[in-house]
Amino acid sequence: MGRFGHDGGSGRGRWRSGQRRPPGRPIVQGDTPQDDDPADDQRDDQRDDQRDDQRDDQRDDQRDDQRDDQRDGATASGPNQGRITAVKPQVRDPERVSVFLDGVFAFGLGAQLALDHGLSVGDDLDAARVAALRAADDTGKATNAALALLAHRPRSLREVRDRLRQKGYGPETIEAAVAKLEGWRYVDDADFARYWVENRQAHKPRGRRLLEQELRIKGVERETVREAIDAAEIDEHAAAVAVGRAKLRSYEGLEPAVARRRLAAYLARRGFGFDVVRPALEVLLGEGQEDETDEE
């Protein structure tokens, strides 16, 4: 039995040994056959990516919440100026300290931040300095949250900003954190675009059009996207044939014209242009006919 089997005696024409493969109807741009697969493969890919990101985000949120709960009541309700009467390590988070003004807990800070600012008992802090310390601490927390996000996979600048916004950080805090990350080269849209293209081609090959769309959705500038894709030197024809060959197995038993139509739509959803899809179909469907001839 070849790639496309007989219909089991119904008498309807199928692709059989020795038969000439019907050409099928022409492929035209915008063609959306009604009998194509109901699943939208592009939507499935996006859903998979979103599910992975949500799982990572939920894990980060739980960790952040637990850490915040452990911070000796560090709230913004304390005094906003006064003399430092104590700087104590927080019991459940040794990387943070609690600052007391005039004997009352005022705010928490990262231990390194307190050291960098040289805080010590007896220092007088006015409202402006307290506000600046709190802002610097927020930037540190936002930076750490972004680093936790980046630990799972590289992110675009838009992804980092959006995630920090979702966690409740203000615009100034977000931009300060992003500036730090950019200075450390932990976020760079050009590097991210190269990573994305390489990762996609290695694990979920797709055409240039879909790669451009995905990266643009993630906020990468159009020119940066084009440069990354050009640098990858993607052989779209080979990729389309590889993707189509894997999908073709699910079309066994279909009439050639139906298989051709569905496969064309599938490759189009994978971002391959019709100038790539047409020759890929000739290779793939030609293989099906050759397989049957070989079996004779």
| Chain segment 154-179, per-residue pLDDT in tens | 999 999 999 999 999 999 999 999 99
At residue 290 the predicted structure's pLDDT band, cuts being 50, 70 and 90, is very low
| Chain segment 119-147, per-residue pLDDT in tens | 999 999 999 999 999 999 999 999 999 99
Give percent of the chain above pLDDT 90. 67
Higher pLDDT, 72 or 215: 215
Higher pLDDT, 26 or 162: 162
What pLDDT is recorded for position 14? 40
Residue 31, Ramachandran bin (φ over 0: left; ψ between -120 and 50: alpha; else beta): beta
What pLDDT is recorded for position 286? 82
Which CATH class for the 79-183 domain? mainly alpha
pTM over 0.85: no
Under 8 Å between Cβ of 237 and 280: yes
What pLDDT is recorded for position 78? 77
Strand partners, 28: none
Using the predicted structure, report yes or no on whether residue 92 has a pLDDT greater than 50: yes
Domain ranges in the chain?
79-183, 189-232
Using the predicted structure, report yes or no on whether residue 68 has a pLDDT greater than 70: no
In terms of residues, how long is the chain?
296
Phi and psi dihedrals of 85, rounded to 5?
A: -110, -15
* CA distance readout (Å), 177 to 65, 130, 180, 202, 249: 19, 19, 5, 32, 49
Q: For the residues of the chain, what is the DSSP string, one character each?
A: --SS---SSS------TTPPPP--SPP-TT---TTS-SS-HHHHHHHHHHHHHHHHHHHHHHHHHHHHHTSTT--TTS-SSEEEEEEEE-SS-TTEEEEEETTEEEEEEEHHHHHHTT--TT-EE-HHHHHHHHHHHHHHHHHHHHHHHHTTS---HHHHHHHHHHTT--HHHHHHHHHHHHHTTS--HHHHHHHHHHHHHHHS---HHHHHHHHHHTT--HHHHHHHHHHHT--HHHHHHHHHHHHHGGGTTS-HHHHHHHHHHHHHHTT--HHHHHHHHHHHHHHHHHHHHHH-
CA separation for the pair 123, 231 (Å, rounded) = 56
Strand partners, 86: 100
Joined together, the tokens standing for residue 93 give 């988070």
Contacts of 162 (CB under 8 A, 6+ apart): none
Using the predicted structure, report yes or no on whether residue 277 has a pLDDT greater than 70: yes
Using the predicted structure, report yes or no on whether residue 232 has a pLDDT greater than 50: yes
Contacts of 27 (CB under 8 A, 6+ apart): 264, 274, 277, 278, 281
Averaged pLDDT score across all residues of the chain: 81
Half-sphere exposure of 130 (CA within 13 A, CB side): 21
